[in-house]
Structure 1
Amino acid sequence: MTSHIKQNLGGYLRANIAAYFFVTLIFIIGVVVGALAVKTLPEEQKTELLGYLRIFFQGLIKGAETMQEQGLLYSIMLNNAKTIGLIWLLSFTVIGIPFVLFIIFTRGFVIGFTVGFLVNEYVVQGLLFALVSVLPHNFFAVPAVIVTGVSAVSFSLAFVRRRGGNLFYQAIGHTMLCVAMLVVMLIASFTEIYISPVFMKLVASVLVKD
């Protein structure tokens, strides 16, 4: 049973290695562009963002976020579910691939911009806060989005070409994979609400003092 799963997984990875490379590259480009975009921000927008950040840091220290945990969890879970659902839906359209890649690029851009802004303004402390606030949930979310994106691109190409075996069974497999990645995204949502803030609170106290 285990060997059969390994063989299927190995075959899947070999068949989609080019797609994984390309989709991951799109994500990395998004991260880089997002980080570079920080340098183009007008000074007034930087000041405004810093003001929001200080309010956010103070809220973390005082524990004000705990009163809104359920609402935030629902909102983040819904947004993550929409991301996976939209990628899945786009995979059934002829023009879906560019939009799927744009979603992945945007995900990378947001991460790159967030980390870039924190590091640009707070240097080492900013990098530390970026790690504890961005890394934990994205440890689950980023692979889930990339895997879903690769599956969507592969299925969309097969759908357009009308080849590569029975499309019905391919659609079932693609859908099951998307459902599995949706579960991973839900884990990411819980991590973002209940685990990341524990570490964020510790670092935020340092940033507010500075």
Structure 2
Amino acid sequence: MLKLLRKNAVEYIRANIVAYFFMILIFIIGIVIGAMAVKTLPDEQKTELIGYLQVFFQGLTGQQEGISDTHSLLTSVMFNNIKMIGIMWLLGFTIVGIPFVLFLVCLRGFVIGFTVGFLVNEYIMKGLLFALVSVLPHNFLAVPAILATGVAATSFSLMLVRRKNKENLFYNSISYSVFCLIMLVLMLGATLIEVYISPVFMKTAAQIIIN
């Protein structure tokens, strides 16, 4: 069973290698733009963001674990991740959805690039440490899920444009939806990491920055 799944996965990636390369390129472009955007921030906004970060770091180090706080954070992050995959899935069913899918992938890269760029720019190595523990853990699952969903959505949308065999449309729709559902499961795994695991490392990193 595992060998069959592995074989199908390898064949799928080989068949869509160009699409994955392009999607990764769009994501990297978003990261670069986000990192460069840090340099264009006015001093007033930089000062304001630093103030917010200081309050966040102090609250993080002095925060007591609360069930209600964790539950609200879990709900918020889970909703955002479900919305991300859900929107991309729906865009795949539209012929004009490809630019919007690419925009969402680029936007995710922009957020990561801006976050890491700002922390490194203001706190240098300490900022890099905090960026690594706050951004990387959950994105190990989230980013591949978003990229894979983006490829699936653009491929399905292109299939609708070409649509030569209408008989396979229903089968392809089911396959596409199941694939997106699997990616959603990965995003839910990323949610659990972001809510329950990342904060543990973030508290330690925040103490290092404050001290």
TM-score, scaled relative to structure 2: 0.95
Q: Which residue of 2 aligns with 1:106?
A: 107
| Of 60-69 and 119-128, the range deviating more from structure 2 | 60-69
Residue aligned with 1:195, SS: helix
- Looking at structure 2, the residues matched to 9 and 193 of structure 1 have their Cα atoms a distance apart, in angstroms, of 29
The code of the aligned residue for 2:142 comes to A
- Looking at structure 2, the residues matched to 82 and 16 of structure 1 have their Cα atoms a distance apart, in angstroms, of 25
The code of the aligned residue for 2:111 comes to V
Total equivalences in the alignment: 209
Q: Which residue of 1 aligns with 2:131?
A: 130
| Of 35-44 and 57-66, the range deviating more from structure 2 | 57-66
CA-CA distance at 1:69 after TM superposition = 1.1
Say yes or no: does 1:41 pair with 2:48.
no
The code of the aligned residue for 1:168 comes to F
Whether contact under 8 Å (1:59, 1:65) holds in the other structure is no
- Looking at structure 2, the residues matched to 178 and 123 of structure 1 have their Cα atoms a distance apart, in angstroms, of 38
- Looking at structure 2, the residues matched to 64 and 96 of structure 1 have their Cα atoms a distance apart, in angstroms, of 44
Matches within 5 A, 1:54-73: 54-64=54-64, 66=66, 67-73=68-74
Matches within 5 A, 1:185-196: 185-196=187-198
The code of the aligned residue for 1:196 comes to S
Say yes or no: does 1:179 pair with 2:181.
yes
- Looking at structure 1, the residues matched to 111 and 86 of structure 2 have their Cα atoms a distance apart, in angstroms, of 19
Matches within 5 A, 1:6-21: 6-21=6-21
- Looking at structure 2, the residues matched to 146 and 13 of structure 1 have their Cα atoms a distance apart, in angstroms, of 12
CA deviation digits over 1:86-106, x for unaligned, max 9?
Answer: 000000001100000000000
- Looking at structure 2, the residues matched to 106 and 28 of structure 1 have their Cα atoms a distance apart, in angstroms, of 10
Q: Which residue of 2 aligns with 1:77?
A: 78
Residue aligned with 1:166, SS: helix
- Looking at structure 2, the residues matched to 2 and 145 of structure 1 have their Cα atoms a distance apart, in angstroms, of 23
- Looking at structure 1, the residues matched to 201 and 137 of structure 2 have their Cα atoms a distance apart, in angstroms, of 10
- Looking at structure 2, the residues matched to 72 and 143 of structure 1 have their Cα atoms a distance apart, in angstroms, of 22
Q: Unaligned regions of 5+ residues in structure 1, if any?
A: none
Q: Which residue of 2 aligns with 1:27?
A: 27
The code of the aligned residue for 1:129 comes to F
- Looking at structure 2, the residues matched to 33 and 52 of structure 1 have their Cα atoms a distance apart, in angstroms, of 23
CA-CA distance at 1:163 after TM superposition = 3.5
- Looking at structure 2, the residues matched to 38 and 186 of structure 1 have their Cα atoms a distance apart, in angstroms, of 30
CA-CA distance at 1:64 after TM superposition = 4.5
CA-CA distance at 1:4 after TM superposition = 2.9
- Looking at structure 2, the residues matched to 2 and 72 of structure 1 have their Cα atoms a distance apart, in angstroms, of 35
Q: Which residue of 2 aligns with 1:92?
A: 93
Displacement over 4 Å in runs of 4+: none
CA-CA distance at 1:3 after TM superposition = 3.6
Whether contact under 8 Å (1:34, 1:112) holds in the other structure is yes
